[in-house]
Amino acid sequence: MTDDAPEHIADELLAWFDRHGRHDLPWQHPRTAYRVWVAEIMLQQTQVATVIDYFNAFMARFPDVHALAAAEADDVMAHWAGLGYYARARNLHAAARRLVAEYDGRFPRSVESLMALPGIGRSTAGAIVAQAFGVWAPILDGNAKRVIARLAAIEATPGTAAYDKPLWRLAERYTPETRITDYTQAIMDLGATLCTRRNPQCAACPLADRCLSYRRSLQHRIPAPRRRSARAQRETTMLVVADEAGRVLLEKRPPAGIWGGLWSLPEKPAERDLHAFCRERFGIEVRDAGALEPMRHAFTHFELLIHARRVQLRGTARIMEGEFEWFARDARPGLPAPVARLLDAPQQTLNL
């Protein structure tokens, strides 16, 4: 299947990149290892257009690896709120501290060393050494996978070893010895701008004449669609507990799991009585102020139906330490997007 795949693509790809590639992304100027690393982590499963504002704000607050390592975890999480995949932020922070402790803040230049850091796999490690240091290394992000799968007419289903294994072998074959930084950017740019998932612009592609999919008119069928399974439904009840001053009680979620490490609204088990639960969990007496409009939130593998209930504190707010805290409206930490939407809904803003 891949034996008749093209042998070389770098020359044509680089010539195209010089004229049509992306040369003004924020992490390209200046292109330090720290900036490339942070960008690569943010760009995992997240589109460029979404990342740019987060990246610039992150760099303004944490300009180098020492600043990031010295920061509080909450501060890092707050700058990630809304980006999703919060394990990325926890890993980024942990890796920054290890880089400072073990490497004096200087990035190692080998794929193997970088892969030993949390959150950095083979493709991200390759992108960092290629882009920051000009070291030869293949990458295989979503763009490169699609470009190479089409070039070699890989018909296996994405997400399987039958798909990934030949792609890594071909990624190694195509990665040139020279202009490694530009090549890495070029194959991603081709995938992002011409060799797109739908409606690939083959007429403008510098590799069309050697692309097996194009020559066989398979470019619309490769990559094959992923198998999709029915999305499970889940429900939860969240409490909007407000005190007299309009502050809201938030809970820091455990590090693992959904929204790990983020502040959010406390959840009440469905079977628990509201008053008993608040008494035992928070040590407060409350008045039930009624249900809010349920909110749906779609995750990749399930859909969450959030039943929110407004609860008024009776008496004085206790000072709480640790996993629960009272937050004034303008002092809220970063929240998961649906929780932020819930608190910002018109029915909420009236009395909070």
Partner DNA sequence: AAGCCGGGGGG
Partner DNA sequence: CCCCCAGGCTT
**DSSP β-ladder status, 267-268 and 295-298:** unpaired
73 binds DNA (CB under 7 A): no
d(CA 75, CA 89): 10
Handedness of CA 205, 206, 212, 217 (dihedral sign): positive
What is the smallest separation between the CB atom of 185 and DNA, expressed in angstroms?
Answer: 6
Q: If you count DSSP H runs as helices and E runs as strands, how many of each does the chain have, helices first?
A: 15, 8
Task: Mark residues 8-37: x for contact with DNA by CB under 7 A, - for none.
Answer: --------------x--x-x----------
- List the one residue from 119, 138, 166, 200 that touches DNA (CB under 7 A): 119
297 binds DNA (CB under 7 A): yes
**Chain center to CA of 278:** 34
The C-alpha angle 179, 182, 185, rounded to 5 degrees, equals 145
Taking CB under 7 A as the binding criterion, the range among 48-56, 214-222, 244-252, 322-330 that sits at the site for DNA is 48-56
Instruction: Write out the binding residues for DNA, residues 128-147 only, by CB under 7 A.
Output: 141-143, 146
- List the one residue from 82, 105, 176, 333 that touches DNA (CB under 7 A): 82
**Choice among 7, 12, 40, 155 that is catalytic:** 40
Of 38 and 286, CB closest to DNA: 38
What is the smallest separation between the CB atom of 14 and DNA, expressed in angstroms?
Answer: 15
Is 177 catalytic? The answer is no
What is the smallest separation between the CB atom of 202 and DNA, expressed in angstroms?
Answer: 16
CB 308 within 8 A of CB 240: yes
Q: Taking Cα atoms as reference points, which of 84, 139, 86, 69 lies closest to residue 111?
A: 139
CB 20 within 8 A of CB 188: no
Task: Render the burial of 132-162: b for 16+ CB within 10 Å, e for the rest.
Answer: bbeebbbbbbbbbbbbbbbbbbbebebeeee
- List the one residue from 260, 274, 317, 325 that touches DNA (CB under 7 A): 260
Structure-token match 């929204």, residue found:
259
What is the smallest separation between the CB atom of 318 and DNA, expressed in angstroms?
Answer: 28
241 binds DNA (CB under 7 A): no
What are the distances in angstroms from CA 116 to CA 88, 127, 232, 323, 331?
A: 15, 15, 34, 31, 37
Q: Given the rule CB under 7 A, which residues bind DNA?
A: 22, 25, 27, 39-40, 43-50, 82-87, 91, 115, 118-125, 127, 141-143, 146, 158-161, 165, 185, 188-189, 191-192, 197-199, 223, 225-226, 228, 257-260, 297-302, 336-338
Active site residue ranges: 40
